[in-house]
Amino acid sequence: MNSMKTLKLLRTERKITLEALSEKTDITIANLSLIERGYNVPNAQTRQTLEQYFGCIIDFLNTEYIIVIASTKEGLEARLDAERTFRRLLNEVVTIPSAEREAFIQVLHKVLDRVKLT
């Protein structure tokens, strides 16, 4: 398979608006926008729908921004540590050759499907 692409890159390459993609996939514009900007990690069904629509595996980790939200003041330090750790992880992931990276992302998706992120 070719190297994986982000949702935004696939959408813009094919000149598809968020509105058109929403209509064709029954995924809300708001959810698509949040996924593209890294505010939301899609669940298994959403990932499957988008990957079937585009006919390829989509790299949902390589977003322009990765947002980790802390709900309390005490969580600020933990949030910043998590963001730094996650950014270091992403920097390492992008160095993995394309075919191996795709396999890694597929395994990671399976793990994330089993983990409840709150």
CATH of residue 38's domain is 1.10.260
Percent share of the chain, pLDDT over 70: 69
Is pLDDT of 16 > 60? yes
In three-state secondary structure terms, 58 is strand
Q: What is the pTM of this model?
A: 0.56
Q: Which of the 8 DSSP states describes residue 73?
A: T
Question: Residue 13: inside a domain, yes or no?
Answer: yes
Which pLDDT belongs to residue 25? 96
Question: Residue 2: inside a domain, yes or no?
Answer: no
Q: Sign of dihedral through CA atoms 21, 25, 30, 35?
A: negative
Structural domain that includes position 73: 7-114
